[in-house]
Amino acid sequence: MEERYNPFTGKRIVTGVDDPVPAAAALGLEPPRFCEQCGRRMIVQVHPEGWWAKCSRHGVLDSKSLDRR
Ligand SMILES: [Zn+2]
């Protein structure tokens, strides 16, 4: 089974257990701080158009890639 981590708390997500996400984060306003795939702390950079977060193992996650219109 694949492991997932809460991108805002870095805690491991357990199926069946509610994992609260901050309201601002749920709206995509808050950048994630941890990698969802490994739980590592990411390098986060916020810029006027959004943010990007980099995991040393899984690469860059960009707010634009999550919000396509
Ligand atoms: Zn990662």
Distance 41 CA to ligand 1 centre (A): 8
pLDDT at 69: 55
| C-alpha of residue 34 to centroid of ligand 1, in Å | 8
**Residue ranges in the chain modelled with pLDDT below 70:** 1, 28, 67-69
The alpha carbon of 3 and the centre of ligand 1 are apart by a number of angstroms equal to 11
How far is ligand 1, taken at its centre, from the CA of residue 17, in Å? 22
Quick one: how far is CA 30 from the chain centroid?
9
pLDDT tens digits for 22-37?
A: 777 777 678 899 999 9
> From ligand 1's centre to the CA of 62, what distance in Å?
14
Nearest CA-CA partner of 8 in 45, 17, 16, 19:
19
Contact (CB, 8 A) for 51 and 58: no
pTM, to two decimals:
0.75
Helix (H) and strand (E) counts in the chain: 2, 3
- Please say whether the beta carbons of 34 and 7 come within 8 A: yes
At 42 the pLDDT is 97
